[in-house]
Amino acid sequence: MTTSFREAELAGWSTRSASYDQHLSPITNQVIAPIIAALGPLDGRRVLDVCCGPGHLAGSLAAEGAAVEGVDFATSMIAKAGANYPRLTFQVGDAEALPHASDTFDHVVCAFGVMHLSRPELAIAEAFRVLRPKGRFVFTQWGKDDEVLNIVLSAIADHGTPSPDLPDAPPPLRFSDPRECRRVLEANGFTEVRDDLIETTWTSERPKALLDLIYGGAVRVAMVLEAQEPARRARIHDAILGAAKARVFDGTVVIRRPVVVASGTKPSST
């Protein structure tokens, strides 16, 4: 087994660039418009996309006129982003120690990245550092009422071992609380802090596609499931499929995934 949470996350994402794009991007792309709205005018602005994944947020920012760079710790994600958007600049880098000079970017974004970091406060401090004064930082996190996560956690609680032998990890739902987002942003010097809750929805005609989403579009939850004894894992799968079937409406599985959109501004004098 890998020896740290960071190593486990890196190993997991290094094998999921294609499956993430297939299964999770249709959901995460639903937050692109709210992120852009939180930033304001983008034409000519220099923007850094941290934990850029397959690059769709960066591509949308560029389409709005921004000069975008993307950074991710997984080489395979950078390769995927570069293939998706060959005219943009992507590089391997650490969100907790960004490879950029201070006061470089007009805006910094991080979509669904902070929950995958060992020390998210460092990443938020790094975003503050590389921002120019009056620059905006926006990050997103699944909300506490995310039905996908709640379905999985309930199935594990009923049929599995909630805490198998896995690397110590930060609380997965920490930034699902808008108050915690606000507290950490303000503690790192951000002003004009906002914490908005938006709705996204996962849909599929196949209940079994929920398992594809869980294993193909997540690392931490997948690790917990893969660490279960086979008989327990089978019961967990059955419970997840049952929950998906209970959410079929007119032939389509519909599952809510609320998202916290947190943002703050680097003041003009720090």
Tens of pLDDT, residue by residue over 20-51, are 999 999 999 999 999 999 999 999 999 999 99
Helix (H) or strand (E) holding 238: helix 230-245
Mean pLDDT of 96-101: 97
Does 154 score more than 80 pLDDT?
Answer: yes
Residue-level pLDDT at 149: 95
Q: Kindly report the CATH number that applies to the domain delimited by 5-265.
A: 3.40.50.150
What is the arithmetic mean of pLDDT over 46-72? 98
pLDDT, residue 174, reads 94
DSSP 209-232: HHHHHHHHS-SHHHHHHHTS-HHH
pLDDT of residue 5: 87
Residue 75 pLDDT: 96
**Three-state secondary-structure class, residue 138:** strand
At 270, the pLDDT band (50, 70, 90 cuts) reads low
Is the model's pLDDT at 169 over the cut of 90?
Answer: no
pLDDT in tens, 115-136: 999 999 999 999 999 999 999 9
Q: According to the model, what pLDDT value does residue 269 have?
A: 73
* DSSP-H helix ranges across 64-135: 75-84, 120-130
Q: Are the beta carbons of 131 and 266 closer than 8 angstroms?
A: yes
- Does 1 have pLDDT greater than 60? no
pLDDT-above-70 percentage for the chain: 98
Counting every residue written for the chain, the total comes to 270
Query: Which CA distances in Å does 79 have to 25, 60, 63, 134, 252?
Result: 16, 18, 20, 32, 33
| Inter-CA distances, 249 with 24, 30, 129, 131, 210, Å | 21, 21, 47, 45, 15
pLDDT of residue 80: 96
Strand order in the sheet with 67-72: 89-92, 67-72, 46-50, 105-111, 131-142, 259-265, 191-198
| pLDDT given at position 12 | 86
The amino acid sitting at 68 is V
pLDDT digits 0-9 by tens, 178-220: 999 999 999 999 999 999 999 999 999 999 999 999 999 998 8
Average pLDDT for 219-241? 94
Q: To the nearest whole number, what is the mean pLDDT of the chain?
A: 95
